Amino acid sequence: MRGGLILGEAFSGLRRNASMVISVVLVTFVSLTFVGAAVLMQMEIGKMKDFWVDRAQVAVYMCTSVSTASTCTDGEAATQDQIDAVTAELDGPALSPLIRDYTFETSDEAYQDALAQLGDEYAGIITADQINATFSINLVDQSQSDVISEAFGGMDGVEEVTDQMQYLEPLFSALTIATYIAVGIAALMLIAAVLLIATTIRLSAFARRREIGIMRLVGASNRFIQTPFILEGVFAALIGSILASVAVWAIVQFGVNGYLSSRITFVTTWVGGADLALVIPVVIVIGVVLAALSAGFAIRRWLRA
């Protein structure tokens, strides 16, 4: 009976302040959607880093007949002795513990691959000695790529040493900045939601000030008086949280799995159901907890006034 009375008071307050409740629902919905999207974006960045760090290679490009690097002889490609020197260094005791495996593509093999991609009409434009023979190295720990660069950077016959991760880091940095922006917008919207919930509770309390006075006269405790108002804020935020959860699910289901995964083929790991199972409860808990704290603080201050 006591619980039914409290719930009845809470729903009565929601009906009386329908416009404010709708505002709370919408603000909570938008802010928590940003929160969920930001968390999922950070999860996706983590998945992409794990995927590419494991596959990114360090490439050692040998000199060609058109190379202009100081370690190259003008008009001459890397000699077999220079290639053998790089191979010996890779297999040596200093570097071999750092290397998971490596492959070597000769100039002729690279030339054939280039013709396969560009077409046979380029056979008269480029020659095999203009294409780099390349060592492609997979490291045990990609963060140690600088060791490879230092080992071969000044070696005769080596034109350039590149780390594929250096091309991916700007992408990861841009995505991380986008995540921070989404988090910032979400934080501002959550602050707006908290203030709106507090205002709604105060207006609801003011509208029922006579009822509150009567409950005080008959000996009702402060907790009994406060609980319906707190539930008002929690119910409104819960609706917004559920809508945000649906929106986050739709983003993953239709935006990521339905659109991006079919068009961005170089990414093979996308957020999915397992990630949603973690994010959605977080979104709902954030909405409910913030609403309960905001409503509780607002009604306690009003009752002391």
Distance CA 20, CA 13 (A): 11
**DSSP output for 51-99:** HHHHH--EEEEEP-TT--STTS-TT-PPPHHHHHHHHHHHHSTTTGGGE
Looking at domain 57-163, its CATH class is alpha beta
**The predicted structure's pLDDT at residue 226:** 72
**The predicted structure's pLDDT at residue 12:** 62
**The predicted structure's pLDDT at residue 249:** 92
Distance CA 227, CA 240 (A): 20
Task: Name the residue ranges covered by the structural domains of the chain.
Answer: 2-53+169-304, 57-163
pLDDT in tens, the chain (305 residues): 355 555 555 556 556 666 777 878 888 888 889 888 888 888 888 887 777 776 678 889 998 888 888 888 877 888 899 999 999 999 988 888 888 888 899 988 888 888 888 777 777 778 888 888 899 888 888 778 888 888 888 888 888 888 877 777 787 788 788 878 878 888 887 888 888 888 877 777 776 677 767 666 666 666 666 777 778 778 888 889 999 999 999 988 888 887 777 777 666 678 888 888 889 999 999 988 988 888 888 777 766 65
**The predicted structure's pLDDT at residue 1:** 38
**The predicted structure's pLDDT at residue 2:** 57
Per DSSP, 123 falls in state G
| pTM: predicted TM-score of the whole model, two decimal places | 0.67
- In whole angstroms, how far apart are CA 121 and each of 13, 116, 181, 213, 230? 78, 10, 49, 92, 76
Question: Which residue type, as a one-letter code, is found at position 87?
Answer: T
